[in-house]
Structure 1
Amino acid sequence: MTGLRIELRRSTALWAGLLVLVSSTGMLLLITSESAAWPANSTSAVLELRLPLAYVWALVVGFAVLQGMRDSRARVTELFTATSRPGWVRLGTLASAVAGVVAVAGVLLCAGLVVKVALGGGFVSTGFVPLMVTVVLALASSVLLGLAVGRFLPHPLTVPVALVATFMVSTSAAQALEARSPDDEISRLALLTPVLDPPGSDLVTTATSVDLGQIVWFTGLGVTAFLLLAARTHLGRLAALLPVVLALTLALSIMPAKYSEVLVTDSIAGKLVCEGTVCLSQVHAASLPAVAAVGRDVLAKLSVLPDAPSEVREDTSAMAHVTAPQRDRRIVYVQSQRFPSHLTMTGDQLRLELLAGAGVAGCAGPNTFDTSGGVVRHLTAGYFNGELAGLPSDSLMWNNTRLRGEIDEAWRQFRGQPAREQLDRVVRARQMLLACEDSERVLDVLRAGR
């Protein structure tokens, strides 16, 4: 313990821990907006750390490499080699000090986020634990690797090269993990880094296979780094590579190959809580009473339809940020991930949103603009509402003079038909939306074009 206290005082251990805490917290504050979803769920909060970790990871490795060069810079390498005390004991103490402090900093950082979520009235569960373990192992193993690199490559350029190389690896990994559809293949090698761009949802976490693979990999990397740090012979250094080779082989066999298998719905936070025929996720259970009242009214209005929907349910799918909304003739979905404001709207606003499309979401994917689909949503919501009104989630169309004119003209054409004909055309439009047919054809049906 005496040696550990000495290393804590004279090494960069405490500074490295402070670096992790301050830089991660600062970057998290910089990239967090008022509309961020992660403060509502402890699992999402810890997952959000993966974004600033891409930068902090490089700084930690650079600090560790600098610390690993200490003996060489002080020109005492031969002196310590000649002492009777085993080298691995002294180096183990140094490694324990630096890696231990960084690991503790990682735990404190994750714990601080969980406390923030709890104090803010968010949902706290054990789902964050695997993510925290991964973060801590990634930081600790990176420190050990940095110490080993600094010890065996004591060159003035080693620190900047290691820092830049780590940053380039993290940047490349982030790009390799980008996807536009659930079926996109991703690089398993990219998953060997602690980097991931979260989807901005409080219902999503990483799959068990990803967590397990990363834990295996970072554990093997840490063991190899420590053995390299303590090895004195070429044979010892060669043998030290065995754990990381085994870990790499096992991790790659566990890691998923498709994007849809990387992110999954949080099994705890995403579990549905129901009030009658209206269901929301546990993380949004506080909004259930208000949504349930609106949901029952929506189902009553939609009951005039043949084969009318019988349930209102939150869409908790993990791929909601890259796919078109779910559709089911029996279910009216609350699109909380695509439109987080759905859960904070007034009752009248949410009613309009759920009635749009006759209870069926549009077919357009995220980050797309479908003019015809927007007009269809306004017309169908207006039909059940009794009058035309703006949809809060599509305020651009409602406030734009030209687009508003298209909505008003289509509304006049639609309302100019007999009442029975209006209902028949809404029914046909709903069937076409369920089949995800072209939005222009759906609009043509409502305008009595065919």
Structure 2
Amino acid sequence: MTGLRIELRRSTALWAGLLVLVSGAGMLVLVTSANARWKGNSTSAVLELRLPLAYVWALVVGLAVFQGMRDSRAGVTELFSATSRPGWVRLGTLASAVAAVVAAATALLCAGVVAVVAFGGGFVSVGFLPLMVTVVIALASSVLLGLAVGRLLPHPLTVPVALVATFMVATAAGRALDGRTADDEVSRLALLVPVLDPPSSDLVTTSTSVDIGQIVWFTGLGVTAFLLLVARSWSGRLAALVPAGLAVALALSIMPSKLSGVLVTDSLAGELVCDGRVCVSRAHEDRLPVVAAVGREVLAALAVLPGPPTEVREDTSAMAYLTAPQRSRDVVYVRSQGYPRVLTMPPAQLRLELLAGAGVADCSTPNTIDVQEAVVRYLTAGYFNGGLAELASEPYVWTNTRSRSEVEAAWQALRSQSPQEQLRRVAQVREMLLECQDSSRALDVLRAA
């Protein structure tokens, strides 16, 4: 314990821990907005740390490499090798001090963001623990690797090269995992890096296979790094590579190959909580009273349709922020993921959103624009609302003069028909939306004279 206390005072251990806390918290503040989604769910909060980890990881590795060069800088390498005390004891004490402080600082950083969620009234569950364990092991093993690299390659350029290389690897891995659709192939090698661009959803977490694979890999890397640090012969250094080799082989066999296998619905936050026939996720349970009241109004309004929906339910699917929304003849889905945030809308706006499409979501993927589909949503919402009104999800159509004129002209054509004909056309469009047929055909059905 005396040696450990000495290393805590004389090594960069405490500075490394402080670096993790300050840089991690600082980058999290810089890269996220004040109303970021992660503040609503503890799992999302820890997952959000994967983005600033690209910077923190590089800084910690660079500092560890610098620390690993201590004996060489002081010119005492030969002196310590001639002492009777085993080298692995002294080096093990140094490694334990630095890695333990970094691990503790990382755990404290994760606990800090969870505390922000808890004090902000967000949803807190044990779902963040696998993510936290992964990050802690990743940084601790990276520290050990940095110490080993610094000891084996005591050159003035080693520190900057290690820092830049680590940052470049983190950046490249983050880009390799930036999928646009659920079926996008992802690089398993990129999953060996603890960096991930968090999804724009607070109902998503990494899959069990990703968590286990990363824990296995970083544990094996840590063992190899420690053995490299204390090895004195080339044969010992070659043997030290075995744990990392076995770990990477096992991890790659576990890792998924598609984005849909990397990110899954948070089973705890995404659990449905219901008030009668209206359900929202447990993470958004505070909005249930408002959604339940609006949902009952929507179901009553849609009851005039043949085969009307009977439930209102939040769409908690993991890929809802990337793929076209779910659709069902019996369920009106609430799109809580992506933008705009439907669940935070005032009741009047939420009612219009659920009535649009006669209770059926549009067929476009998020972040795409289909003007004709938007016009269809305006007309169907207006039919059940008794008049046109702005949809918060389609503001450009309402504010654009040309699109607004198109909506009003189509509205007049629809309202010129008999009540029975209007209902027939809206019901037909609902069927077309359920099958995701051409939006231009749906618009023609509504506005045909």
2:164 is matched with which residue? Answer: 164
1:409 is matched with which residue? Answer: 409
Question: How far has the Cα of 1:394 moved from its partner?
Answer: 1.4
Deviations 1:229-266 (A, max 9, x none): 01111111111111101101100010001110000000
Contact 2:176 2:190 in 1 (8 A): yes
Question: How far has the Cα of 1:399 moved from its partner?
Answer: 1.5
Within a 5 Å distance, the mapping from 1:17-416 to structure 2 comes to: 17-339=17-339, 341-416=341-416
Cα distance in 2 for partners of 1:372, 1:47 equals 37
Contact 1:36 1:200 in 2 (8 A): no
Cα distance in 2 for partners of 1:377, 1:88 equals 70
**TM-score, normalising length: structure 2:** 0.99
Q: Select between 151-160 and 172-181 the one with higher mean Cα deviation.
A: 172-181
Runs of 4 or more above 2 Å deviation = 338-341
Cα distance in 2 for partners of 1:256, 1:55 equals 26
1:430 is matched with which residue? Answer: 430
Q: Where do 5+ consecutive residues of structure 1 fail to align?
A: none
SS in 1 for 2:187: coil
Question: How far has the Cα of 1:35 moved from its partner?
Answer: 3.4
**TM-score, normalising length: structure 1:** 0.99
Q: What is the aligned length?
A: 449
Question: How far has the Cα of 1:411 moved from its partner?
Answer: 0.6
Letter in 2 for 1:11: S
Question: How far has the Cα of 1:34 moved from its partner?
Answer: 3.1
Deviations 1:145-201 (A, max 9, x none): 000000000000000111111111111101111111111110000000001111121
Cα distance in 1 for partners of 2:7, 2:227 equals 19
Letter in 2 for 1:303: A
Alpha-carbon RMSD across the aligned residues, in angstroms, is 0.8
Cα distance in 2 for partners of 1:421, 1:380 equals 14
Contact 2:200 2:338 in 1 (8 A): no
Contact 1:174 1:195 in 2 (8 A): yes
Cα distance in 2 for partners of 1:227, 1:145 equals 10
Letter in 2 for 1:32: T
SS in 2 for 1:392: coil
2:2 is matched with which residue? Answer: 2
Question: How far has the Cα of 1:340 moved from its partner?
Answer: 5.1
Cα distance in 2 for partners of 1:131, 1:37 equals 17
Letter in 2 for 1:209: S
Letter in 1 for 2:289: P
1:418 is matched with which residue? Answer: 418
SS in 2 for 1:366: coil
SS in 2 for 1:50: coil
Deviations 1:21-54 (A, max 9, x none): 1011111001111331100000000000000001
Cα distance in 2 for partners of 1:360, 1:169 equals 43
Cα distance in 2 for partners of 1:6, 1:152 equals 23
Cα distance in 2 for partners of 1:402, 1:53 equals 46
Cα distance in 2 for partners of 1:359, 1:163 equals 53
Contact 2:340 2:393 in 1 (8 A): no
Contact 2:340 2:392 in 1 (8 A): no
Deviations 1:104-147 (A, max 9, x none): 00000000011110000000000000000000001000000000
Question: How far has the Cα of 1:338 moved from its partner?
Answer: 2.4
Deviations 1:305-329 (A, max 9, x none): 1110000000001111211111111
